[in-house]
Structure 1
Amino acid sequence: MKTADQLLRSLQSSVSGLSLTELLALHPDVPRRTAQRQLSRLVDEQKIVAAGQARARRYHAAPDIDASASKSADDDFSYADGRYMIASREHNRELIYKVIPLSPDSRDILTYIDQPLLARKPVGYQPEFLNAYEPNKTWYLPEPLRRQLKKMGDTGQGGLPAGTYGHAILNRLLIDLSWASSHLEGNTYTRLDTRELIEHGTAAQGKAALETQMILNHKAAIELLVENADSVDFNRFTILNLHSALSENLLPNPADEGRVRQHVVEISQSVYRPLSVPAQIDEALDMLLDKASQIEDPFEQSFFVMVHVPYLQPFADINKRVSRLAANLPLIRANLCPLTFLDVPEKAYSSAILGVYEMTRIELLRDLYVWAYERSTQEYLALKQELAEPDPLRLAYRTLIKQTIHDIVVRPDDDALAIIEQSAALHAAKSDRMNVQALIVEELRRLHEGVLARYGLRPSEFSRWREKMAGK
């Protein structure tokens, strides 16, 4: 029996699908590379479906189309929540876009993307797509649309220091954006699960370690952007470290974390083939970042990176996650409402990205971006009345406060009050010292597992300090 047939039979007999590791355990004589190649071919032939990314990827036998006479030739198969759901393409499209306004151009893109793989023309990376873009002259978002987005996202804090609004809503943003972005990658954590993990460090029962890691990585990446909003920019340092935060402990080769891709990648369920030569990827990434850094309008800048980072595929994996968080950087810096991707259907997002990959067309992604941003602003502007005005003293001395908290925890044998007094004496204005000391004490009393990254602390350091305090 051929290797492909063996793998297919195993998948057909499995109710919940199998990972590559599980398949290799069932077929120990099959080399790993051979299995990967055959599985990729079976996916292309639509005999099996791949769900999830990297180590979490599982393969499922596609439903038997001939088993039901009621299914039409236009039936489309997608995998969601562990069950196959069968619906005609047209019906599925109407369900997804019932509340998302689409332009005629976007519907043209959907018509093409909805075709089977064999009907779509294979295409490689098109350098002219990026080369033709001139910052502040080319506009993916027309001026009236940018004006509309600004009106929707205005928090009334545009004149305050960069990141002020992000700091004010950080706890909520960590939960919403971590959950929604992970959900688009097939993560099954609920919003409540995500809140428990981020606020209390409690992993959800019955969830894969990969899903927990994905949420925590989002949290670290969002904190990186918010805490450094006044200094980060679209450059290699920012984008590589953002990828490093999002990919920690999730890639088969840890050396790929925060590193530009060194090998060929293929896009599942797409005829698009990205660049494969590392030198060309490096050059294109530098051009992408240079153009992004020159864009003056925060929304145009945000949408530009959402388009071009996934299209280039500069990393071994996790490119879309990088683009979604990078798209928030200009919004956070300008104290605008963030883009959380709440309620964005995975199918809609995938189709929009495929339109960029295979057609270099941005209209569908643009329509989705505008709709998603409106949803986000509705959530966050509702919080506006609940948010207290930022404490100017806390804002002015936030670096001092964080460093002092860090020093106290990593030096549990030293006198905390002495450290506080010394830090205030060295770095705070004389008239502010007593109030700054009181702020540090207040922060120290509120310290818990859910905010450790804010102070550059590890859970082990926090546990050791807490044990020391309990013994005093």
Structure 2
Amino acid sequence: MKPTPANINYEIGVICNTLQTYSYGATIEDIEKSTGLSLQRRTLLRRLTKMIAQGLVESNGRPGATFYQLVQQVPYYSPGVFGNVLHDESTPSIPLTQEGMDVLRRISQPITMRKPVGYNTDFLVSYRPNIDSYLSAIELEKLAGLGKTTAINQLPGTYAKEILQRLLIDLSWNSSRLEDNTYSLLDTHLLIADGKTADNKSVLESQMILNHKYAIQFLVQSPYDIKFDRFTITNLHAILADNLLDNEARGRLRTIMVGIGASVYTPLTIPQQVEEMFNIILAKVNAIKNPFEQAFFLMVHLPYLQPFDDVNKRVSRLAANISLNQHNLSPLSFVEVDRDMYLKGTLGVYELNRVDLLKDVFMWAYERSAARYATIRQTVKAPALFKFRYTREIHSLITHIVSNAMTIQQANDYIKQASKQFPLKDQQKFMEYVDTELLSLNDNTFAMYFIPPTAYEQWKKKWGKL
């Protein structure tokens, strides 16, 4: 049988993932053994030849002793891999399990090839808290190690309050970005800190950011009142939906039919059933003992049920932080999470009742988020290749901004203008890296940019730092 383009793309994705583990290249025998693909040698060679033509792989050596190596650390879902799921090389890699890759392959098929499905009540009802678990014991142990903070034995909510200003910006921006909001990180800082809306941005985008700010404050400021209960979840929705939905729809369980764009999934339509499943979700999440399993359980089941008219995924992302806050664990702020991969993971739950891809995204996202807030790092992290490529330009820009004591608005405009010299696909990522470096700059790091102390102090006053 002739292989379909989807199958070929899937095989190339598996080969890419395998070559990620061979820093100095792999022989054809290594690839055959490590991929687990049932391909004849000549077919595998054709796939490698295609990857070389796509610029993903290069070959070195001589006939009979050829090594194949990734041209660079490309993402696990790369250009030319999985059909329409195209991402440029600046997109951070999310390591996918074989199960996650299978979900991605199936959910990336044209919508006409996917079977229409409705809400499966057994998917929720059959879940047994503390007997069943979406996260394995090994995964839970890894998350616990990543999430440990200096406030682990203090009163609930202590750690989130300590990092609240940074959390407001990070989580508001990243969660809104996953909704296709075009605010930059510095735009978000200006809006949250100073109430200044960005030029050329819609009222809807500004409102979305501010709603996130108020919702995060709601969760953090009264940790003893915040629980997995109807009061918390409905009020969280009301805050996130403020001025975005009709007043009657804020915090109210849905009584209308809703559809899911670009999906064959249809949620429940009967209000009484929505109410019943919502109550079961609350009962089960409260019965779960592990805070990470609680967080992921809500990310799976709140969007799947669609209990509100809209804004359901936003509710799930912020509600996932409730248990982490209560246990003084590092928050989940969705740092650098790719929007398309997150949505594909959610579609995997909707259409297949499979959590594998969303779990891969969750695990990777938490590792990135925890690293953002960690005060002590036990190991040296692998350098980000995108940042490495633009190190000189990033450093030069930061030096200029700080040395000239630019205001936040001036810096924002200057960064946007400077980014235009780079390829279009890199501009947004470049701005994000510079924004992040500026927001992270402190008394212990400014000297690495060769900034005089007097200039740094002047800049710090301009930024009300921070």
Structure 1 unaligned spans of 5+ = 1-85, 386-449, 451-472
Amino acid at match of 2:318: L
Residues paired across the two proteins, number: 300
SS in 2 for 1:328: helix
SS in 1 for 2:255: coil
Amino acid at match of 2:238: S
Distance 1:107 1:93, change over 3 A: farther
Amino acid at match of 1:265: V
TM-score scaled by length of structure 1: 0.62
Per the alignment, residue 393 of structure 2 pairs with none
SS in 1 for 2:199: coil
Superposed, 1:262-301 pairs within 5 Å as 262-301=255-294
Superposed, 1:63-462 pairs within 5 Å as 89-90=82-83, 92=85, 99-251=93-245, 253-382=246-375
Give CA-to-partner distance per residue, 1:223-258, whole Å, 9 cap, x none.
01001212211111110000000000001x321010
Distance 1:136 1:247, change over 3 A: same
1:156 CA drift (Å) = 2.6
Amino acid at match of 2:153: G
Distance 1:264 1:211, change over 3 A: same
- The whole-number CA distance in structure 1 between the counterparts of 2:313 and 2:164 is 22
1:143 CA drift (Å) = 1.0
- The whole-number CA distance in structure 2 between the counterparts of 1:382 and 1:179 is 22
1:291 CA drift (Å) = 0.5
Distance 1:384 1:171, change over 3 A: farther
- The whole-number CA distance in structure 2 between the counterparts of 1:384 and 1:231 is 33
SS in 1 for 2:181: coil
Q: Report which stretch shifted further, 136-145 or 310-319.
A: 136-145
1:89 CA drift (Å) = 3.8
Amino acid at match of 1:152: L
Q: After TM superposition, which residue ranges in structure 1, 4 or more long, deviate above 6 angstroms? A: none
1:120 CA drift (Å) = 0.2
- The whole-number CA distance in structure 2 between the counterparts of 1:186 and 1:215 is 12
Give CA-to-partner distance per residue, 1:264-283, whole Å, 9 cap, x none.
00000000000000000000
Answer whether contact 2:82 2:105 (CA < 8 A) is retained: no
Answer whether contact 2:160 2:328 (CA < 8 A) is retained: yes
- The whole-number CA distance in structure 1 between the counterparts of 2:135 and 2:122 is 19
Amino acid at match of 2:348: G
- The whole-number CA distance in structure 2 between the counterparts of 1:154 and 1:136 is 22
Answer whether contact 2:80 2:86 (CA < 8 A) is retained: no
1:87 CA drift (Å) = 6.5
TM-score scaled by length of structure 2: 0.62
Answer whether contact 1:113 1:351 (CA < 8 A) is retained: yes
Structure 2 unaligned spans of 5+ = 1-78, 379-463
1:90 CA drift (Å) = 3.8
- The whole-number CA distance in structure 2 between the counterparts of 1:297 and 1:232 is 17
Answer whether contact 2:348 2:355 (CA < 8 A) is retained: yes
How large is the RMSD of aligned CA atoms in angstroms?
Answer: 1.9
